[in-house]
Amino acid sequence: MTGNFIDILEHEYHSREDIVNMLSAEGDERRLLFRKSAEVRDSYVGKKVYYRGLIEFSNICSKNCYYCGIRKGNRNLERYNLSDDEIIAAARFAWENNYASLALQSGEIEGDAFTLRVENLLKKIMEMTEGQLGITISLGEQTEDVYRRWMEAGARRYLLRIEASDPDLYSKLHPIDGHHVFQRRVECLKTLQRLGYQTGTGVMIGLPWQTIDNLASDIEFMRDMDIDMCGMGPYIEHADTPLISRKDSLMPLMERFDLSLKMIAVLRIVMKDINIAAATALQAIDPMGREKGVMVGANVVMPNITPGKYRDSYKLYENKPCTDDSAEDCKGCLEARLGVANADIGYGEWGDSLHYKRRMHEGQSELK
């Protein structure tokens, strides 16, 4: 049996059945899976872990995803919006501490004022850092024109999780009100790629109704879409959301955690040269969660550098870790933790997705 499993790990192309087998690994097979994914990480993207300083600049959102604590319909939390100066100061912190990369995230807002605000912020950050900070944004679904403007203003990478790649499951997790259309999300990802963004997506793991087969299709979706980056982690229920009604059907948190590690490991084996982030939600379940993610194949960590007083209000899910800490505390803490995971930190390096570089290079040679 184990012999078979070793063969599966070595396949050049992994079938649906291979992926299901890997996701179902237990005991010795699980150990082999994790050993293989760590090996693949080391040989394809190296031992370094890259930081993206994460600024969650506003929890105001126009959408109503059933799983999310900052959904529009939740009246049980205080809404905040960082000032431009606060955002710039956080960006300066990232730059001065040699993080080399920044990620700006917020609830989803579409409209001219929001577009312009982000555009100006990107320009200011680029100016302040002389273009030396690699900027990722994660601001939801927008039009092609908006994505283009933000790219021209300095953004280089975009994270837009598909959340669940099965349209049926997707429709159970979102209201059917014209603002949560699966196909639009897919089109947005394609637009981002066409515009030349390093494009990232991801899913939640351990969702109600979700099966191992769904998760295997998620991996296939990411491969078919030829994505450059992935950020995925466990689904963690939030009391003030509609999905809390499915609480009793969920697998225990530790199982969701373990399945998330397996998803990272399998994705690393299937898409060897992409960047994979160890999601903060892993840490909400296990204090060493992100480090464990790194051990099984992730190579990006996103330390939270949102000013401490706002962190408590960006609660996508319950138990969100470190909401009382300052950015300075996080830095020291993470360094020590990643040392335990036997990974070096790529300070001062952008840590671009090698997959992206290869994809762009191939695109150019095809044009010649």
* Residues making contact with ligand SAH (CB under 6 A): 67-68, 105, 107-108, 138, 140, 160-161, 163, 204, 235-236, 238, 281, 316-317
Q: Residues with Cβ < 8 Å from 135, sequence gap 6 or more?
A: 101, 102, 103, 104, 122, 125, 126, 154, 155, 156, 157
Phi, psi of 215 (to 5 degrees): -65, -35
The per-type count for the chain, helices as H runs and strands as E runs, is 15, 11
Q: Which of 53, 134, 140, 233 binds ligand SF4 (CB under 6 A)?
A: 140
Helices 144-152 and 112-128: crossing angle, nearest 10°? Answer: 20
Q: Segment 76-115, which members bind ligand SF4 (CB under 6 A)?
A: 107-108
Among ligand SF4, ligand SAH, none, residue 133 binds (CB under 5-8 Å by kind): none
Whole-angstrom Cα distance, residue 298 to residue 301?
A: 8
Q: Does 65 bind ligand SF4 (CB under 6 A)?
A: yes
Contact of residue 71 among ligand SF4, ligand SAH, none (CB under 5-8 Å per partner type): ligand SF4
- For 39, residues 6+ apart whose C-beta sits below 8 A from its C-beta are none
Residue 104 touches which member of ligand SAH, ligand SF4, none, C-beta under 5-8 Å by kind: none
C-alpha span between 356 and 253 (Å, rounded): 33
Q: Specify the DSSP element, H or E, that contains 275.
A: strand 275-278
Question: Residue 3, Cβ neighbours under 10 Å: how many?
Answer: 6
In contact, 282 and 294? CB cutoff 8 Å: no
- Smallest distance from the beta carbon of 259 to ligand SF4, in angstroms? 20
Residue 60 CB partners (closer than 8 Å, separation 6+): 79, 80, 81, 106, 107, 109
Point out which span in 11-19, 65-73, 266-274, 342-350 binds ligand SF4 (CB under 6 A).
65-73
Window of 46-54, 68-76, 109-117, 201-209 that interacts with ligand SF4 by CB under 6 A:
68-76
Determine which residue in the list 33, 61, 192, 276 makes contact with ligand SF4, applying CB under 6 A.
61
Question: How many angstroms separate the first and last alpha carbons of the chain?
Answer: 48
| Interface with ligand SF4: number of residues (CB under 6 A) | 9
Query: Which C-beta is closer to ligand SAH: that of 197 or that of 235?
Result: 235
Backbone angles phi, psi at 140, to 5 degrees: 75, -160
Tell me the sheet residues that pair with 101: 134
* Residue 218 binding result from ligand SF4, ligand SAH, none, given CB thresholds of 5 to 8 Å by partner type: none
Give the residues across from 301 on adjacent strands. 51
In the complex, least distance from residue 269 CB atom to ligand SAH, rounded to whole angstroms: 23
Q: How far is the CB of 355 from ligand SAH (least distance, A)?
A: 20
Q: Shortest Cβ distance from residue 13 to ligand SAH (Å)?
A: 28
Q: How far is the CB of 238 from ligand SF4 (least distance, A)?
A: 10
Residue 63 in the binding site for ligand SF4 (CB under 6 A): yes
Residue number, 33 or 316, with CB nearest to ligand SAH: 316
CB of 241 to ligand SF4, least distance (A): 9
Nearer to ligand SF4, 173 or 294 (CB): 173
Task: Give the span between the Cα atoms of 21 and 343, in whole angstroms.
Answer: 28
Are 53 and 103 spatial neighbours (Cβ–Cβ below 8 Å)? yes
Interface with ligand SF4, residue 162, by CB under 6 A: no
By three-state DSSP, how is residue 232 classified? strand
Residue 254, class by beta-carbon neighbours within 10 Å (0-12 exposed, 13-18 middle, 19+ buried)? exposed
Site string for ligand SF4, 251-290 (x = CB under 6 A): ----------------------------------------
Task: Give me the residues that bind ligand SF4 (CB under 6 A), please.
Answer: 61, 63, 65, 68, 70-71, 107-108, 140
